[in-house]
Structure 1
């Protein structure tokens, strides 16, 4: 599968502001960047730095006035696709070192508060089967409702409201998995099938010795996603972080099959 991606941003900064941008598809073994180009209005400072766990890149900028960003890419997805249902659990003592940090609670994913619920609700399954059960439980108990969550909403808040958007679904999925002793992290992606079209967030879980993307909203399939970056939760994968006041004039995302 190849994806054609077009993302554009239009922001205004009244004062000189440091900005961290992360919107480019990551150049990693599971996906090949066949073509890519990014146009950014002139900035006072521009520097590329590695993203979380060296997956993808971020761009540091110092800007004032209007910031226009236009990103276009064609990405060929070549990741190994397995049915999560059949993948075994990796025992904690056998986990690779880089997965360990994704076993613990984080700012938006208080997994230590869900251990009893997860053990009761999903105790009869293991490994990939448990992940599928969690995904289906979330899909069956939550409603996709834009505007009901904010940048402060945690997985616990979403669990109570039973409403949210993609990042909220991902946070709950991650929280459930960690509460069951399965490493889980968030992935920002470009994906086919997202409505309305936008930057998308999904969970990524470590089962069967590999990382697998899981979208509890049901909108996107693992074969149809191009990964931008990963992290502990949404705080690590924001597409634009402004260290000051920013005004969004417009932004758009378009993903089609190439």
Structure 2
């Protein structure tokens, strides 16, 4: 289905079956302004990459010394409460309208970082997962953020060439990295680009790191991550 036709179908369904807020149940929006305003924000003074609490925002000593391919991750919300429900409903419940609601605070979070982004790239799903779900929630978020910031989005720049299990916090750092190592590959010449990899949630950071490695291999000069929420 084309993007324009998909948009028209979504508008028609909203008219017949108005969405209800995933937080309070109020009719009219998938996530109302009041619930969004009360959602838990990430601490302002934290490490750009690992989210460790700092006296002022920047990089902690370990991340500054390590110089990983992923420079930082911008996320407006902690993965708690209503935001957790919203992310899950966007990802698994086909509530695609949530992408528009979450994109505004995501755009604000990215604008507050030191990166001058030139391209947004959604974290891709494996083809088998995409067929099963019917859409990529990361692509929906990237498109909406791109509209707000006037940034191009290339959903074909990165491919997931190997199916991987969901990231879980209980796994060790080495296990998390190993599970997604080599799972992504670039399909574009990204020479000199300042790329932001967009996803719904940063659980362990391993997926975004694997994407950053592939994007750097494709020539990207800088890579940041952007998600709606982050596990702490």
Higher relative contact order, chain-length normalized (CA < 8 Å, sep 6+): 1
Same fold (TM over 0.5): no
Q: Calculate the TM-score normalised by the size of structure 2.
A: 0.25
**Which protein has the bigger helix share?**
2
User: Greater CA radius of gyration, 1 or 2?
Assistant: 1
Q: Calculate the TM-score normalised by the size of structure 1.
A: 0.23
